[in-house]
Structure 1
């Protein structure tokens, strides 16, 4: 069961890893480093039949896996479990949004990442209150708020969030 979980986590990591630059070249199983073979052991029988791009993504996923702490590996397994439980329509929506995100300019990607980190650093109660406030807004109000938010000072943002 542990091998299966490891394989599933590696598959998940490989699925979310960004594509490599340049043309990937197939690597026979025998030429993989011993550490790679250990992590990718569940793929051994199929390895030489995989397209080079998939092999490269699996190798990057295996490398990421080896550098993770046990807590990070546990979190990766949990994320993969949640991913598997999503209905196919939701998975497709996530893939579509991820592709759109990757198509944004780097500055916009960084801005979104900062907002994401900021939101997730809030205490759970504040996050929930913010979600409820957002759900209670019309589409136009949301659009206006997104535009205003970009120019708000940290104090203005705090004041906005503190209003009930």
Structure 2
């Protein structure tokens, strides 16, 4: 398993654990604001992140950056991020490689340039896509893997 798959598995398990623990502690419609959670409910939510934080000092800056970015997102942006991650989780290895290459290529583009690349990609033959990947994927291989968004 590569680091990306391990991270995805961890976050999925974390989401399930937190969701199950809270569901057992209170009916789904009755979950209170954070300040009104019991200490046990808070501990259930925090302990997996605390363990991950303590066991991965080299990842702390990235985790903190992603938490801040997630916090600044609108609910619609968060929903879109979750949708993208679900789609990514169901891709095969080659599709993921393409998605990463496209993601890193589009990162510095304007919305118009992104749309143009999407249109161009849709018109490419498999051979043209392979050629594009050969030219562009090596640049993104030096980049860290796309982290999954925090579950909120």
TM-score with structure 1 length normalisation? 0.45
Q: Point out which structure has higher relative CO (alpha carbons under 8 A, 6+ apart).
A: 2
* Larger gyration radius, structure 1 or structure 2: 1
TM-score with structure 2 length normalisation? 0.48
